[in-house]
Structure 1
């Protein structure tokens, strides 16, 4: 295979990269510059078309699941080095760690190897970042799409950017740079809760909770220090499944006993109100505890994509000081849009919130909330009104398909589709939990586009019939 300038950038260390810049100004034997000679052969990628290259050097050290190890990151944009800095890096993910293409979490560090907030690839400054590795999602775009749609709805969702990753001189393919969910003025913008704020108004926020697997959890399993358990069993539970809420912010190791008691009592009061006979009462019912509009948007994003993990895994919620509980931000939709072959995950004509009916023996089930909320005519009216509004804009089929075409055009012009799938030759084979196995990227995109079209049509009817 002929090497382009882009391939040089992907394969070389920073020193080699700088050498290449020198070489491209040199001349060949006949006086033609090397750069011009390559262009003449039609194998270059224009600087303007390149997506960012993230080069990480660990000095040969293997990156573990945890803890983070020292490394250096160099970012090249449009052929120019724009960022060089120390980082700490580790492998991240749960079931995705089975794949050879690993996802990574990293934090920016100063010269003393202390965490430091810095802007990265144009995103607002923070210290914690994620390099998500699309692998079983052979379109490469599922997470990118849903996060863009979520921000278009007006709430916060992680900013994303396609990049290519070079790790210790080895090209690793297309990644998605993402913001980690954090309490921050530019991310989840809620009050910074201090350890001495344990009474009165101070105690009311901010908090971030999650329903998720225990990967990376303090203690390695659920316990009273890192989580609290709902007194309400999930609908259709067939064994001893429960719903646990993990402390995401403040972290389990930082949250005080008073803060644990406050937020666990608040969520339980919400659940009590939702389960009560007066659940529709505007003062005594669930509306006194939650921001219903955020629940509606969260519901519609999960249903639009039939997210097989929706509501039961990677599910975040937050509460600001003196505010009600809100759903979100959304997270981890790589198995959505028809990409899972279990529990109806590949179907376009089932409700994601009814997961428990299809897979009652799964360890992680959906809380009873969503069935109950949809029994309230007021909440149901909000769902129908919001769906109708979005179908005329953000959720219009043409708008969604245009986003997908834009992603693919960006990756194709950069040559990144070709080199990603040269590195990861996964077409025509089953990668857990694929519902569809295409022979090419075009096949995969065709399947996803057709699935979305069918899903939109089905939801138009299904939401109308609720």
Structure 2
């Protein structure tokens, strides 16, 4: 038995020794390979360089070779056989670095490309809708069946990105619906669908941006929101050119429909429970309609809110939901008035950033409509997502639209904003947050705008050939907007407004009058 065990031990030791010997031989063989592979590696690098697209806005395959070790690197991230695209904040020049090694020869290279953002006009996206009726027969109430084809460029190559006949179209909007023949639309697919990298959902919106001659105000705002720390959700936006029944309709902004959705802005809302998630909108248009509050609408001290979630059409929804939400909003207002306990009822950081955006851009709707709010179960009251900024940035002649002067923190504008800013502690936090916004957010945003504007310049040219409005008054354009006769001039007006407004707010928010709650009333 002892002899048998010794044989086993001997075989085990022999096996280990042979393994070490084989590995050592391999290492010796590799170390003995002193061949200079420079020419072969440079030839391989040239083929890799040719495989890297000149324009990148999607994933692409990376060459591999069994005889060479190839290590790819981009933005400090390593890749093997596929480049994984992530959208930059705006278009920029970039380079893919790679190291190729064989034997003792190791060389490093880089391939240059233009890295496009998802919002870039250079994506050259066109949406073709074919309807069974003339576009003029499409209204706001009833959907019309639509065939949809989405064409775009993927890494510089034209493709059909999506095509289906399982979709519908209807009109949307309020003043924008009646403003011109270039109308906004709701596009709805029969099933959750992702187009152009946007979250899978049935509902999309096509914004006409008719009164916004820069075509960019809503896009700029959503990009701004994406840089903020305490705003819950920035909507995806894409510049597209729209064709309906083969008729060119101009530049539109394709974006998400504002809604609670598992793939987008998600809060759990259960109609059968009172203490659940709520999503609702402050909307003064309530007073233009013959509506009795207490079900899907509530009115708190003359401010109307429409409940979106829980779904008021759900059989499990009851008036108890309206009662609960109304009581909660009243408790928030009471706490703000008392300047006590409000931190337990609202997400103050969220409120501050929300109203920094509204105040900075002087949004006309800050106290009117499209002001969305939500509350998760047992959670604080919060604002978002932000929506509808085409009449901001000095583009509404019926308000004090200039870059100077406080706007939203008025009793007759946004009551919550006013109550919040009556509290010294909140004003000091607002001051700190605005200073951070000025120094950390605005520089990148202002760098983005000319790059994005340049990318849509050819699209904009075609748009204004179709809609010849540069020399015409479009409600509610101020005289300064009417004075700009080119798309580039319109964008420059927005940029100038942003710079002037930013400086004015920086000075005013950091002075004594603001500290004491004097907003120039």
TM-score w.r.t. the length of structure 2 is 0.69
Tell me the secondary structure at the aligned position of residue 124 of structure 1. coil
Instruction: Kindly report the root-mean-square deviation, in angstroms, between the aligned alpha carbons of the 2 structures.
Output: 2.0
Structure 1 counterpart of 2:189: 108
- Rounded to whole Å, the distance in 1 between the matches of 2:470 and 2:322 is 47
Which residue of the other structure, out of 485, 490, 495, is the alignment partner of 1:444? 490
Q: Which has the higher contact order (CA 8 A, sep 6+)?
A: 1
Q: CA deviation at 1:48?
A: 9.8
Q: CA deviation at 1:223?
A: 3.3
* Aligned residue runs from structure 1 range 1-400, under 5 A: 49-61=122-134, 62-78=137-153, 79-85=158-164, 86-98=166-178, 99-109=180-190, 116-154=191-229, 155=231, 156-191=233-268, 193-197=269-273, 203-214=274-285, 221=291, 223-231=293-301, 242-254=302-314, 255-276=317-338, 279=339, 281=340, 285-344=341-400, 346-354=401-409, 365-396=412-443, 399-400=444-445
Change in 2 beyond 3 A, CA 1:140/1:349: same
**Structure showing the higher strand proportion among its residues:** 2
- Rounded to whole Å, the distance in 2 between the matches of 1:186 and 1:376 is 37
Which residue of the other structure, out of 457, 460, 465, is the alignment partner of 1:417? 460
- Rounded to whole Å, the distance in 2 between the matches of 1:290 and 1:355 is 20
1:265-315 deviation line (CA, Å, top 9, x unaligned): 111111122223xx2x3xxx3222110011001110011101121133210
Q: CA deviation at 1:204?
A: 2.4
**C-alpha contact 1:181 1:187 (8 A) present in aligned 2:** no
**C-alpha contact 2:187 2:204 (8 A) present in aligned 1:** yes
Q: CA deviation at 1:213?
A: 4.8
Tell me the secondary structure at the aligned position of residue 313 of structure 2. coil
- Rounded to whole Å, the distance in 2 between the matches of 1:337 and 1:367 is 18
Q: CA deviation at 1:354?
A: 4.3
- Rounded to whole Å, the distance in 2 between the matches of 1:158 and 1:140 is 16
**C-alpha contact 2:239 2:254 (8 A) present in aligned 1:** yes
Change in 2 beyond 3 A, CA 1:71/1:220: farther
TM-score w.r.t. the length of structure 1 is 0.77
1:96-141 deviation line (CA, Å, top 9, x unaligned): 11221100012111xxxxxx11112111111111001111100000
1:68-108 deviation line (CA, Å, top 9, x unaligned): 12111110011211101221211000011122110001211
Q: CA deviation at 1:222?
A: 5.7
Tell me the secondary structure at the aligned position of residue 452 of structure 1. helix
**C-alpha contact 1:318 1:326 (8 A) present in aligned 2:** yes
1:217-254 deviation line (CA, Å, top 9, x unaligned): 9x8646333211112xxxxxxxxxx2101112223323
| Aligned residue pair count | 377
- Rounded to whole Å, the distance in 2 between the matches of 1:48 and 1:377 is 44
Change in 2 beyond 3 A, CA 1:351/1:336: same
**C-alpha contact 1:214 1:220 (8 A) present in aligned 2:** no
- Rounded to whole Å, the distance in 2 between the matches of 1:318 and 1:349 is 31
Q: Which runs of 5+ in 1 are unaligned?
A: 1-46, 110-115, 198-202, 232-241, 357-364
**C-alpha contact 2:217 2:392 (8 A) present in aligned 1:** yes
- Rounded to whole Å, the distance in 2 between the matches of 1:49 and 1:400 is 19
Change in 2 beyond 3 A, CA 1:97/1:355: farther
- Rounded to whole Å, the distance in 2 between the matches of 1:117 and 1:334 is 28
